Amino acid sequence: MTDSLPDLAGQRAIVTGANSGIGYFTALELAKRGAEVSLACRNADKARAAAARITEAAPDAAVHAVQLDLASLRSVRSFAESWSTPLDLLVNNAGVMYPLRRTETEDGFELQMGTNHLGHFALTGLLLPQLQAAPAPRVVTVSSLAHKQGPQLNFDDLQMTGGYLAPLAYANSKLANLLFALELQRRAEQAGSALTSTAAHPGLSSTRLFSSPDGMGSNPLLRALATVSTKVLLQSPRRVPARPWPRPAPRAVPTPAPACSWSPAVPRNPPRCPARPPTRRSPHACGRSAKS
């Protein structure tokens, strides 16, 4: 991964969930390449500890620890409002997987959909002006091949109140991640924006996603097994392969058109998009503005 990164001196990046796993090593490599990196984590103490480890490994790194709880839209808005400078890179990485029981976010959304997708959706929308102010902004959303387990989003019960299956809820959140990344790129192109939106599948990696007490690790036995087995069976998050980083040629950023802007307000039950209904072969997220 490190060989594919260019010199990032002078660029600003935000990585969510950067206190451990893939987020931590992403932040570390970005910092080594000269980027000013903000570690946006729910636990501020863990974020500060991660920032200290990065500074120890890269003494010249510019690293900041910032509190951000993606399961709280209030926290997301507060974080976004505190960011006033141009933003070159946003890595939507944080996530939760397989809580044994249906759990809700502060705002009443199913925890996996609310954290993995809706929190990042709102964060990206609120930071869009800062992204558009950068010469060649990029949004990377970490999805997963697990999205194939959820072939179509059920907009009539997106929060799975009618019957909860943790693996399906996770798959739905990863499908939503992927659809969001694709739609954001489509709207950016339509608006003539310099923004690039990509999605990534990191593969099965030994991260705290498997042992987090908010997810699968809420079961003490599974948490203990995951702590040991993932290190043996899965790849290290440090070694996650990556495609070469294609840096887009800087170009003038026009005034953002309505096609590349939206309200981050998320309805509890998003309506179906009448213009392009989803099918089993080609599911999609509703592309209507929340203001319409």
- Is residue 35 helix, strand or coil? coil
Q: Which one from 24, 98, 164, 170 is the annotated catalytic residue? A: 170
170 is catalytic: yes
- For the chain, what is the domain count? 1
Q: Which residues pair with 91 in a beta bridge?
A: 15, 140
Question: Measuring CA to CA, which residue among 91, 78, 162 is closest to residue 124?
Answer: 91
Residue 116 domain boundaries: 2-260
For residue 202, what pLDDT is reported?
A: 79
Entry field: residues in the chain: 292
Q: Flag whether 178 is in a domain.
A: yes
Task: List the beta strands (DSSP E) in 86-241.
Answer: 89-92, 138-142, 196-200
| 171-180 per-position pLDDT tens digit | 999 999 999 9
Percentage of the chain beyond pLDDT 70 is 66
For residue 148, what pLDDT is reported?
A: 65
Longest CA–CA span in the chain (Å) reads 54
Specify the CATH number for the domain of residue 94: 3.40.50.720
Distance CA 261, CA 239 (A): 35
CB atoms within 10 A of CB 182: 17
Residue with the larger pLDDT of the pair 236 and 79: 79
Average pLDDT over the chain, rounded to whole? 78
Q: Flag whether 290 is in a domain.
A: no
Q: Flag whether 289 is in a domain.
A: no
| 41-93 per-position pLDDT tens digit | 999 999 999 999 999 999 999 999 999 999 999 999 999 999 999 999 999 99
- Which residues are within 8 A (CB) of 160 and not within 5 positions of it... i.e. 6 or more apart? 102, 110, 113, 168, 169, 172
| 100-151 per-position pLDDT tens digit | 889 999 999 999 999 999 999 999 999 999 999 999 999 999 987 665 666 6
Q: Flag whether 220 is in a domain.
A: yes
- Is residue 114 helix, strand or coil? helix
DSSP type of residue 116: I
Q: Flag whether 109 is in a domain.
A: yes
Q: Flag whether 168 is in a domain.
A: yes
- Which amino acid would we find at residue 128? L
Q: Flag whether 288 is in a domain.
A: no
Handedness of CA 144, 148, 153, 154 (dihedral sign): negative
Q: Flag whether 26 is in a domain.
A: yes
Residue with the larger pLDDT of the pair 114 and 228: 114
For residue 260, what pLDDT is reported?
A: 46
- Which residues are within 8 A (CB) of 13 and not within 5 positions of it... i.e. 6 or more apart? 27, 30, 35, 36, 37, 38, 87, 88, 89, 90, 91
Q: Give backbone dihedrals phi and psi of 13, rounded to 5 degrees, phi first.
A: -135, 145
